[in-house]
Structures are given as C-alpha cells and as structure tokens.
Amino acid sequence: MAVYKAPLKDIQFVLNEVLDVSQLARLPGYEDATPDTIHAIIEEAAKLCENVLFPLNRTGDEEGCTYENGVVRTPKGFKHAYDMFRDGGWTAVTCDPEYGGQGLPATVGFALQEMFTASNQAFAMYPGLSHGAYEALSRHGSDELKKKYLPKLTDGTWSGTMCLTEPQCGTDLGLIRTKAELQADGSYAITGTKIFISAGEHDLTENILHLVLARLPDAPGGTKGISLFLVPKFIPKADGSVGERNGIRCGAIEHKMGIKANATCVMNLDGAKGWLVGELNRGMPAMFVMMNAARLGVGMQGLGIAETSYQSAVAYARDRLQGRSLTGPKNAKGPADSIIVHPDVRRMLMIQKSFTEAARALSLWVGLLIDEAHSHPDTDKRAAADDLVQMLTPIIKAHFTDMGSECANLAVQTYGGHGYIRENGVEQFVRDARITQLYEGTNGIQALDLVGRKLPMKGGAAAQRLLGEIAGFVAKHKADDKMKEFVEPLEKALGRVQDAALYLMQNAMKNPDEAGAAASDLLRLMALTAMAFMWNRIVVAAHKGLAAGNDNAFYEAKLTTARFYMARVLPQTTSLNHQIKAGAATVMALPAEAF
C-alpha cells in the first residue's frame, strides 16, 4: 500500500542548515518567524497531513466528486477535513494580519504546500486556488473589494477560483469570447462559458469567488482587451453574509484521468454580476499574479507526488522478497532477498531520492527569495530576489512536474505488476501527476516563457543574476578539496548552460523557430544545473554536520545521494546541449502533410 510520512527531519535540515531560516526573523514584519515557531507549525501540519488528509487520498479518488442538478458534492470526509483545515488556521498562514491572517513568510507556506499536496493533492487544490485568488485581489483589488472579500478568503469560509479557459482557447487567451457589459450601478454583467475550472463548484465553503477574464464590447482585440472581474457565487449582503444567487452556475463536471476528488467544472455565466479587479483592459497582469503563484504551487504538487511515490516505493522495496542479490544472499534465512538489494531497483529509488531532496531545497530557497522580494529593506536586494524568483518559476513548474510524473511511474515500476493494480495505491499517483504537466500553462509553454520572456528580461540581467549566483558559489568553493567532486561537475554544467544560451542569442533572432525548438531542452538543462547547485549547498551543510559529529548516517547519506546525482543525473546536460545546438531544422523540416 502507498504510505506517507511528512519528511520533517529533511525539511528542518534544509530550513536550518542549508538555508539558515533564522534570517527571516530579521526581515520587517516577520520578527515572530523564528526557527522554533516555524518548526512547531510544520510539526502540527504533519499531524493533519498524516492522520486526516492522506487517509482520504485514495478514498477520494475512488469516490470522486458527484454532480446533480447543478450541485457538486465532494467525496465523503472532505467537508469534515476542510472544516478542520479551516478551524486550524491553515488557510490564513501567509495572509495579511489586516484581514485576519497570521502574516507568516512564504517560506513557511512552501513547506506546508509540499506536505499538503503530498498527502492529498486533490484536497490541497481547494485552499490553494483560494490563496491564489487572495493574492490577486490583495494586489489589484480596490479597497472596497479587499475589505469585503479578503477576510472571508483568509479565514476559509469562502473559497476562490480562476476562470480563464474557454472551449476555443486555452493558452491563447486573446481568443476569449466571454463578454462584460457595464451596468448603471458600476458593476458588470458577465456572459460566457468557462471550462476546466478547478474547484469551480463544491460543498466545502458557503461562497465561491470566481476571478473571471472577460472582454468589454469595445475592447481592443487580443490579450490587450481583456479585463479581470470578481464574480461571486452568492452576492454578499451589506452585513457580509451571503445573499442572492448570482448568474454563474456549474453546467457539468469533467470525468478525468486523475485528481478525481477535485471538481473540474464547466461554468456558465448568464449576465452574472461582477466587479472590476484592477484596470480595464489590464486583466492579464492582474491574473498573472494568481497564475505565477499557481505555477509555483503546481511545481510543489510535482514535488509532493514525487515524495509520496518515493516513500511508497522504498517501503515496498524493503518488504518485497524476489530473487537473490547478485553478490550473494543478503537474507540467508529467507526464501529470497528483498528487492532493494537489486541495482536496478536501487537506480529507480536513487533517481527519486536525488530529485526530492534537491527539489525541496530549491523550493524553500525560492520561498526565502519571495520573502526577501516582499520585505527586505534594501531596494536592490528586493529587486535581485525578485529576478531570481522570476527566473526559477517556469523551471520549478516544469521540471518539478516532469519529475513528479517520472517518480510516480518509477514507483509503479518498483511495485511491478502490483503497482498496476488499483488497490495498492501507487497507480493513482501516475494519474494525479499527469495533470500537473498540463494545467497553469503546459510545460512546453513554461519553456517558451523561460526562453521568450525570462532570459531577455531586463536585457538578460535577471538570467545573469541566476547564473552569477551559481558561478559565485563555484568560485568560493572550487579550491576546497572536500567540494571538488561536486563543484567541478556543477561548473561544467554551468558552462553548458552558458554555451546553449549563447547559441540561442546568435541564432534565434534570425530564425525564431530556433528558440521554440530549443526551449524545452534548455529549460531542463537549466533545471538540472539549478538542482546540482542545490546539491552543492546541501553538501556544504552536510560537511558541517559531520564536522560537528551529529547524526553521521544522515549526513553521509546526503553525500552519497549527491554523488549519485552528479554521476548519474547531471551528465544529461551534455546531451541536452548537443540537442539544442542541433538546431530547428531537424524539428521543422518534415512537411505537415507528411506526419
């Protein structure tokens, strides 16, 4: 059976020894975010994940959501779990105290996101989407909207969604047909159909706030004419309680491959009353606040699935007896050895382990950077941190979800035929993981975002900042004999990133297809290098731990896993560089009719 135990020891190691989370308490507004406080919060969340959310993961998948006459019901136990989640204050952890939030750093939120999604991805999406709506409203909503809606999103009595996709448009939002017409009272009547709306209708909260992209009749064409509107399921009364039903209703729920316990809805708007968020015809910048938060959140889903897949695979590999070790029996008194003795099983487990531990470090570093970008008193440091977050967002979304899917498949492979059987639980991870590579912008779109927007951002200064961080680390540790076996492969991978980026600079201006053909390979090349950078930082912390003489087995395992990554995973950067420099011709030469 699938298993999950919150990786508290490793989270604490990354926070305290790799990243030094104590620096958070020195940022304005985060004075109470001490390591002890953060540890207590994460420990409490682990209990909720292990004892409440994870047991509902498989039953929620088996039962799914149900739809009848416009009403959507979540699986048995979800409403009770959500009430516990809300009553425990988990919806409010990183929200502004002005609206009833706890005001804790994003770093804490990232640690919690991993555990929530690892234990129950479908459940975690409900509060996760609400927080995205909170972020968009808090940054772009009017004071009136913020005062009316943010306290309810913060305490979790109301939830939120993002309504972008329509039957004729997904990635190309310029094709949106949903229309908004100004009313005499200053509101807008919204009419249209949205599809694939996660958590669009459910029974967990008393109201649902939909953030809807729509176009005024006289708006410019394309994305420049899109506006963002807040459309509540129930229109609030003057006293803040729910009032009359608005003209937005669920027309159906999708029958999906995975995340069956999260309602994916068709939402029909028939003159629904909405209020403008931000400026007219400037809906995309406002929505991208929510979208960028969602992309990082989806990346955390990839990490969460990878972690649960890994833990389940390890548990099975230790218990399953099949065959004998190639170097002689290890379980001489038994009929066979456990499969964890076999090199190929070890290979699969090490791929998962080497990913999850570095990904955890990278995601929590991004959390720290978000906190610096938000609260650091130095303007330049805020800008520098934001540059790094912008660069790493498509990398985390795409690479983490690609690897989440790969780790889920490796878990099934480890189980063998038993992994393919539904009752053992790991086949669900494969189905749940698959959507993460698709929603909030497919991973191909993330790659195009990296190449087309992020690399040229600020004249390339943001990209240079990320590469400079890695180069600075290499320069600092290059002469350290203990670090040589880790720093040298990192330095070579960094050189390949620079070489590939130079190739694109020289060729993409002449032929834009060069950028498109190279984008996914370049993203993976940069992702593998960023992960190697995090492994190097982990190794530094592990050497300090060994020098202190504490828990040697834990730190030695870090060094061993780092060696696996450098020897077995990072060499992929060589072939990726060759693939990029093979050019667009090999991709584009075949005529469309020849496929």
- Tell me the DSSP string of 66-110: EEETTEEEPPTTHHHHHHHHHHTTGGGTTS-GGGT-----HHHHH
- Tell me the CA distances in angstroms from 33 to 30, 102, 113, 389, one per residue in order: 5, 10, 17, 21
Tokens of 81: 């779990």
Under the banding of pLDDT at 50, 70 and 90, the label for residue 170 is confident
pLDDT at position 470 is 98
pLDDT at position 287 is 80
Determine what percent of the chain is predicted with pLDDT higher than 70.
Answer: 100
**Closest Cα to residue 92, out of 81, 79, 108?**
108
Under the banding of pLDDT at 50, 70 and 90, the label for residue 542 is very high
pLDDT, mean of residues 513-523: 97
pLDDT at position 290 is 78
Under the banding of pLDDT at 50, 70 and 90, the label for residue 378 is very high
pLDDT at position 43 is 98
Q: Which one-letter DSSP state was computed for residue 571?
A: T
Active site residue 440: yes
Instruction: Find the Cα–Cα–Cα–Cα dihedral 579, 302, 258, 7, rounded to 10°.
Output: 150
Total-model pTM: 0.97
The pairs formed by 75-82 with CB atoms below 8 angstroms and a separation of 24 or more are 75/261, 78/123, 78/204, 78/261, 79/203, 79/204, 81/52, 81/53, 81/56, 81/123, 82/123, 82/126, 82/127, 82/156, 82/204, 82/205
Answer left, alpha or beta for residue 265, where phi above 0 means left and psi between -120 and 50 means alpha. beta
- Domain ranges (residues) in the chain: 456-585
How far is 439 from 125, CA to CA, in rounded Å?
Answer: 12
pLDDT, mean of residues 15-24: 97
- CA-based angle 117:122:124, to the nearest 5? 45
- HSE-CB for 331 with a 13 A CA cutoff: 17
DSSP H/E element including 207: strand 207-215
Q: Above 90 in pLDDT, residue 286?
A: no
Q: Above 90 in pLDDT, residue 285?
A: no
- 97-142 confidence digits (pLDDT tens): 999 999 999 999 999 999 999 999 999 999 999 999 999 999 999 9
Q: Which of 427, 440, 491, 514 is catalytic?
A: 440
Whether the CA torsion 301, 303, 306, 308 is positive or negative: it is negative
Q: Above 90 in pLDDT, residue 226?
A: yes
> Please, which residues bridge with residue 71 across strands?
68
> Please, which residues bridge with residue 245 across strands?
234
DSSP H/E element including 135: helix 121-140
Instruction: Specify whether the CB–CB gap between 222 and 289 falls below 8 A.
Output: no
Q: Above 90 in pLDDT, residue 288?
A: no
How far is 415 from 158, CA to CA, in rounded Å?
Answer: 41
Q: Residue 351 corresponds to which amino acid?
A: I
- 309-341 confidence digits (pLDDT tens): 999 999 999 999 999 999 999 999 999 999 999
pLDDT at position 131 is 95
pLDDT at position 293 is 86
pLDDT, mean of residues 430-455: 96
Phi, psi at 250, each rounded to 5°? -80, 125
pLDDT at position 371 is 97
How far is 11 from 14, CA to CA, in rounded Å?
Answer: 5
